[in-house]
Amino acid sequence: MAEDIINRVASSKLRVIDLEDYYPKGKRVLFDIKDWLLEGFVLREKEFRAHVAAQDWSQYQDCFVALHCSTDAIVPDWAYMLIAIELETYSQQTIIGTLDELESLLYAHIISNLDVSEYEGFPVIIKGCSNKPVPANALVLLSQKLKPIARSIMFGEACSAVPLYKKR
């Protein structure tokens, strides 16, 4: 006589939070300004402003944009600000930095506004595997936010979670 298989994880008080569920929808764009600089290194204001004026900014509608310069040029802050002002009408978010820094900033904002009250007093697993880019910094921020309220925090999957914290 075969015994029924019981899913103890499903019947436990264990709560799983998957940051992939909060991944902001929208194309990520790395905008390199080096082509707008003389030989990739010298910013000439008049020419730079002409490039900004001629650019079709509507192509960045609903995108997340990371502004950067891939050369070692010294770019004045106002240059990035000028581009960001133009993008403000179209992009969801514009930063100066890399795509990794963009993702980290997006998740920092999401986690700071995340209501974690449903996890209070419960053991929590922060899901580890995801198909979308969840930055490690987001996992750290989430664990810090959960620590004061969760009974315990683990990382990974229910079948192989790594214990991180247990309330005394």
Q: What is the pLDDT of residue 1?
A: 59
Q: Which residue blocks in the chain are alpha helix, DSSP H?
A: 8-11, 45-54, 77-87, 99-112, 136-146
pTM of the model: 0.86
Q: What is the pLDDT of residue 6?
A: 55
Q: What is the pLDDT of residue 129?
A: 83
Angstrom distance (rounded) from CA 66 to CA 4: 53
Burial bucket for residue 36 (CB in 10 Å: 0-12, 13-18, 19+): buried
Q: What is the pLDDT of residue 3?
A: 74
Residues pairing with 128 in the sheet: none
Q: What is the pLDDT of residue 130?
A: 84
Q: What is the pLDDT of residue 114?
A: 97
Residues of the chain with pLDDT below 70 are 1-2, 5-11
Angstrom distance (rounded) from CA 13 to CA 3: 23
Residues pairing with 57 in the sheet: none
Torsion of CA 68, 70, 75, 80, to 10 degrees: -20
Say if CB 90 and CB 55 are below 8 A apart. no
Question: What's the distance, Cα to Cα, between the start and end of the chain in Å?
Answer: 43
Structure tokens at 12: 């436990």
